[in-house]
Structure 1
């Protein structure tokens, strides 16, 4: 039962992130990317801190350290993605960032000697291909933005892995609040160095920051942290990769975007990835997979 609760939590997280594409684009019309990151993390951390004020009184020193590590990793990932976007196309940025779905099981196997589940690995590969069909305009060109976006994928993979590792022994609420506040502190330090610390209050645009702070940050990362207590890192990465799928669905439903064959293939591959990792079909059980170094 807990496994299904974890999966539902991650599906909701992916849906929230998918719905945030339009809101983020509105916000970036008025605020710099660095202001956007710092404020959304601050709003998210403060909101959760107030909601769980009594629980936060009992936060342990070890949780603060681990939360600060997660917050640092999280901010670095967002920063790499943001800077990378300035030098490459949004479609390539989205695809390369989502490659973390394949990197997660590889890191677990190579560094932590963690057994690889063949069904989850197959699902991860299919999910990456699906994201490619959904977002990537195929091009052989490689630039610094592509490299930064790929580094972002690696950092996001470590965030998923360490979240799963830390949440086994720490309170997920404490861990989420501390990591968001740590990311906010890093964000405002960067703003000071960039001379962007004065964040203007713009009518209409403030709503987008509040939405991103409450839903795209506080709710989404709390759900992710709690959910990862119950399911594996690789399956978490696969489910979170449906962010691009939900973005497509909402673009069609809300913005009237016309679905193409490439989009349909991508969506089908992502759904197949989840189905394989969840149901473990018999035809894959006969396939060998090396599980140890």
Structure 2
């Protein structure tokens, strides 16, 4: 088996595991706020990847901090949206993030290529079919779309920052730690009660709930964040970014499959048609696209 095929298989595994994170986080939104879910997940991931910060270059850590702030808002919108819509619908809309990068070029004055126009048309048709299948467009869908836009900006910034990185895993560890730090600061500013007695009871209730859902959090933090992002880095070093983007385009389908197994959510044939149009749009957007660094793709 060739080095290239090893990379493709690794990215397929990454995509499957990413697909499970949507129903896993959807399951937690009934018990925790979005920021609590982000904090626990990324704090566990940061703890496991912290050895890569040892003797890390200052510029790599700075890049990780910038990317971490962007990634925090990506996940805030994504998880807040999950609380208000189904996990499979959220996954298909968030999957549009790959289209944001060429759209940023359009805003910068570059005329879109034909493949981008076709990809956008298919994606809009796919969104229409999904909404027709699952009800009118709602706040949860808008938040998922905001998450896709943030992920697109994140991808573009990562493209720039990874070109100058000395060690990619240091950048990864720094950004995951920054996400956890941003979540902690957000909680302190917006969710922690001011009264000491109320705060103590509130924290006790949250800690008890985390203990009850520990396996879900351990899966998200250890497997879906620390292990899978490391595998993603390894796999992308053996493939092109465009190949990786095409593999990742099937993540929403994986999310829909695991959403059915985990939560009992099901798409009708019209919903699957919409999802397939979205996936096809993403793949077409990457067809013969200009090359970019293999690390310039977003983790989920």
Instruction: Find the counterpart in structure 1 of residue 215 from structure 2.
Output: 207
Q: Does 1:156 align with 2:151?
A: yes
Q: Partners of 1:279 and 1:150 in 2: how far apart?
A: 23
Which one of the candidate residues 178, 181, 188 is aligned to 2:177? 181
Q: Secondary structure at the match of 1:167?
A: helix
| Preserved contact between residue 81 and residue 97 of structure 1 (Cα < 8 Å) | yes
Deviation (angstroms), 1:19: 1.5
| Preserved contact between residue 10 and residue 224 of structure 1 (Cα < 8 Å) | yes
Deviation (angstroms), 1:183: 0.4
Deviation (angstroms), 1:210: 0.7
Instruction: Find the counterpart in structure 2 of residue 240 from structure 1.
Output: 248
Deviation (angstroms), 1:267: 5.9
Deviation (angstroms), 1:11: 3.0
Q: Partners of 2:118 and 2:236 in 1: how far apart?
A: 18
Q: Does 1:32 align with 2:39?
A: no
> Taking structure 2 as the reference length, what is the TM-score of the superposition?
0.72
Instruction: Find the counterpart in structure 2 of residue 291 from structure 1.
Output: none
Deviation (angstroms), 1:57: 2.0
1:224–1:109 Cα change, 3 Å? farther
Q: Deviations over 1:106-152 (max 9, x none)?
A: 22454496x97766x47854873686488544589555554433222
1:216–1:136 Cα change, 3 Å? farther
Q: Which runs of 5+ in 1 are unaligned?
A: 281-293
Deviation (angstroms), 1:105: 1.9
Q: Partners of 1:235 and 1:118 in 2: how far apart?
A: 20
Cα RMSD after superposing both structures: 3.9
Aligned length: 273
Deviation (angstroms), 1:174: 0.7
Q: Which runs of 5+ in 2 are unaligned?
A: 194-198, 289-300
Q: Partners of 2:83 and 2:12 in 1: how far apart?
A: 29
Deviation (angstroms), 1:172: 1.7
| Preserved contact between residue 167 and residue 228 of structure 1 (Cα < 8 Å) | no
> Taking structure 1 as the reference length, what is the TM-score of the superposition?
0.73
Instruction: Find the counterpart in structure 1 of residue 293 from structure 2.
Output: none
Deviation (angstroms), 1:192: 1.2
Q: Deviations over 1:196-245 (max 9, x none)?
A: 7834144441110110001222233334455556533x665443332210
Q: Does 1:18 align with 2:19?
A: yes
